[in-house]
Amino acid sequence: MAEAQLSGDTIPENNQLAEIPKIKYDWYQTETHVVISILGKNVLQDSVKINYDCNTLNLLAHFPQYPDYSLILNLAHPIEPSQCTHRAVPSKVEVKLKKCDGIRWTQLERKLNEPAPVANFSMAQVPVDSGPPKYPSSAPHAKDWNRVVLEEGEDKEEGEAALNSLFQKIYLEGTDEVKRAMNKSFQESGGTVLSTNWKEVGHDKVDIKAPDGMEWRNWEQ
């Protein structure tokens, strides 16, 4: 019996289905935001669900070619989740991330096994409040972070590097309210105030505080 022959035009059955192209995304940045565009068309707007975290972005959406599309990004720098937004248009899904630090990102995602980023607090100008605890004494689990700063500063190495490391530790271990308070107070005060109490700084803008014995003035004055 003669063996069956395949001509050069014959396509094996498992290659007859065209591969669906993957949905790509790109990004750009401004001084205050990182904008990510997911380049998928005709997304069902109600299907777009995004979970914002300080260090990660988790997006779920329904595209015609990808009914269960998901995108998880481990971000290179921290963001402010409460100030992030997104919108869906026929040509793409656009996600706008609010930067915690006004720095330029050299990459969107952090490298594998790289630790999660924290906000960069420079302690050169930030006053440490040595007054009484900011939290009510009736709060069962609240910590007076200002007192922690003083105790750590007395017991361990001195200098700006030690304080910066300590405040990064407070940021990592703090609640979401502590993180929001630190980010908001530091940014709005131009790096001159750092508060861990969201009740004090959450509703009003934090003013610039000059060091003791000095007065803050605008250049126009």
How many whole angstroms separate alpha carbon 121 and alpha carbon 96? Answer: 23
The pLDDT > 90 percentage for the chain reads 32
pTM for this entry: 0.50
119: which 2 tokens?
Answer: 């906000």
Residue 86: φ, ψ to 5°: -150, 160
Beta strands in 22-159 (DSSP E): 25-29, 33-38, 49-52, 56-61, 69-74, 85-89, 92-98
- Whether 17 shows a pLDDT value over 60: the answer reads no
Residue 179 predicted with pLDDT over 70: yes
Residue 29, strand partner residues? 34
**The architecture CATH gives domain 25-98:** Sandwich (2.60)
Q: Report yes or no: 192 and 209 within 8 Å, Cβ to Cβ.
A: yes
Q: What are the residues whose beta carbons fall under 8 Å from the beta carbon of 152, sequence distance 6 or more?
A: 162, 166
Q: Mean pLDDT across the stretch 138-166?
A: 58
Tens-digit pLDDT profile for residues 25-68: 999 999 999 999 999 999 988 899 999 998 999 999 999 888 88
| Closest by CA position to 214, among listed 192, 194, 187 | 192
Where do the structural domains in the chain lie, given as residue ranges?
25-98, 118-221
